[in-house]
Structure 1
Amino acid sequence: MNNDIINQVDTPVVSQGVKNKVLKNTYMLLAMTLLFSGAVAAVSTSMNLPHPGLLITLVVFFGLLFAISKFQNSAMGIVLVFALTGFMGLTLGPILNAYLSLPGGSSIVMNAMGVTGAIFLGLSAYVLTTKKDFSFMGGFLTVGIIVGFLAGLGAIFFEMPALSLAVSAMFVLLMSGLILYETSNIINGGETNYIMATTTLFVSIFNLFTSLLHLLGFASQE
């Protein structure tokens, strides 16, 4: 069984039916998790809940990512995906409140949401239409995300607004690339687990949205 999975990932022999099923299940689960996370974020915003803090956020986030990877082939994996996306929605509430308190804050949030949706739909449609293989981007994206993550931590700890803005701009590009990469993986048979595909796409959309919030929020104060 394990050899069959390895062969599916390493060779282009995954049937079109399997690819279509993974794509369908991924988008169905992604839609449900986006709605769930959005609902949790709305509750968190309305209740003005405090942010859990950087350390707790990182521990829970990476802990749940590890757990999802471990249980990706079971029903528990779906439960853990909802736990992760719900937690991310919870942490988004305080961030939204911070931007809503700015002059024109509602416009900033709506514009960020609209641009995020347009980027995701546009990139997804491009890959689904052209069926281009973006697997070559894997190594670049991995290195870029690690560098961006470390730079983001540096910007927080050393209070460097300019670096923080640069990281946000960097993550807009990286998350756009990750959407291309993961969608390409699904339609070309490189990703056959819809739970992992959903997790990757959700994290991409979340980081894309928060990065755009930061950039648009800064631009509105100029």
Structure 2
Amino acid sequence: MAYEKSVASTTTTLDPSVIKVLRNTYALLAMTLAFSAIMCGVAMAINAPYMGLWTLLPFFICLWMVEKNKNSSAGLIWVFALTGWMGFTLGPIISFYLATSGTEPVITALGGTALIFLACSGYVLVTRKELSFMGGFLMVGILMAFVAAIANFFLQIQGLALALSCIFLLISSGVIMWQTSAIIHGGERNYISATVTLYVMIYNVFTSLLHLLGMSND
């Protein structure tokens, strides 16, 4: 009986409000990824320098403005400001890997990122897993990894950098699943917040894969 109930719950049609949030989230996510790619191309074209930790200041300002305006149309402007900036800062990183390792790690990282996103979100959409219990663990984990990454920016420990890339890859994949589950089960009804979360995790997955592949080639 319990098994039949579980099967029935996973095959039930999604609520219209859930479908609306999913549709708006994925549509905005696609647009921000495209805009981010354009800004990345601009940075590469003008040979923009890598700015290190200074990239975090505009990031946090835009992130704060997104959160403040997420319930208004102004939130969309700040979403594109945030993702455009992140795309721009990705330009020098990709240029570095193209110059040192060629196109293979970049293309492989792009393909791997798409595969991981589709697998993580697809699994939750199909199984309808309720993953709210993962939220606290994932947030603490990504915060600790972020602090460790800032520390390693100064320490320059290659082994720690490798470990952090693996940790970011795993945690970001988990957050993609958690965020998708939150949309399905009513924990997230703001598509702007959902888009930003998914975008940042996709960015983390891509840069982590790129780092791991670049180190492998070295």
Q: Same fold (TM over 0.5)?
A: yes
Q: Shift of the alpha carbon at 1:51?
A: 2.2
- 1:20 is aligned to 19
- 1:111 is aligned to 108
Structure 1: runs of 5+ lacking an equivalent: 1-14
Structure 2 counterpart of 1:26, one-letter code: T
- 1:99 is aligned to 97
Secondary structure of the residue aligned to 2:100 is coil
Give the length in aligned residue pairs: 205
Q: What TM-score, normalized to structure 2?
A: 0.92
Q: 1:191 aligns with which of 171, 188, 193?
A: 188
Q: How does 1:47-62 map to 2 (within 5 A)?
A: 47-54=46-53, 56-62=54-60
Distance (whole Å) between structure 1 residues aligned to residue 46 and residue 112 of structure 2: 26
Distance (whole Å) between structure 2 residues aligned to residue 187 and residue 161 of structure 1: 39
- 1:40 is aligned to 39
Distance (whole Å) between structure 1 residues aligned to residue 174 and residue 157 of structure 2: 26
Q: Shift of the alpha carbon at 1:52?
A: 3.0
User: Deviation per CA, 1:79-104, whole angstroms, max 9, x where unpaired?
Assistant: 0000000000110000001100113x
Distance (whole Å) between structure 1 residues aligned to residue 56 and residue 39 of structure 2: 19
Distance (whole Å) between structure 2 residues aligned to residue 161 and residue 83 of structure 1: 32
Secondary structure of the residue aligned to 2:103 is helix
Query: Identical aligned pairs, as a percentage?
Result: 51
Structure 2 counterpart of 1:91, one-letter code: T
Structure 2 counterpart of 1:42, one-letter code: G
CA RMSD across the alignment: 1.0
- 2:136 is aligned to 139
Q: Shift of the alpha carbon at 1:131?
A: 0.6
Q: 1:179 aligns with which of 161, 176, 180?
A: 176
- 1:74 is aligned to 72
Task: After superposing the two structures, state which structure 1 stretch, 15-24 or 88-97, moved more.
Answer: 15-24
Q: Shift of the alpha carbon at 1:133?
A: 0.8
Distance (whole Å) between structure 2 residues aligned to residue 162 and residue 51 of structure 1: 22
Q: Shift of the alpha carbon at 1:163?
A: 0.6
Q: After the TM superposition, list the runs of 4 or more consecutive aligned residues in structure 1 that deviate by more than 3 angstroms.
A: none
Distance (whole Å) between structure 2 residues aligned to residue 107 and residue 53 of structure 1: 24
Distance (whole Å) between structure 1 residues aligned to residue 135 and residue 26 of structure 2: 21
Q: What TM-score, normalized to structure 1?
A: 0.90
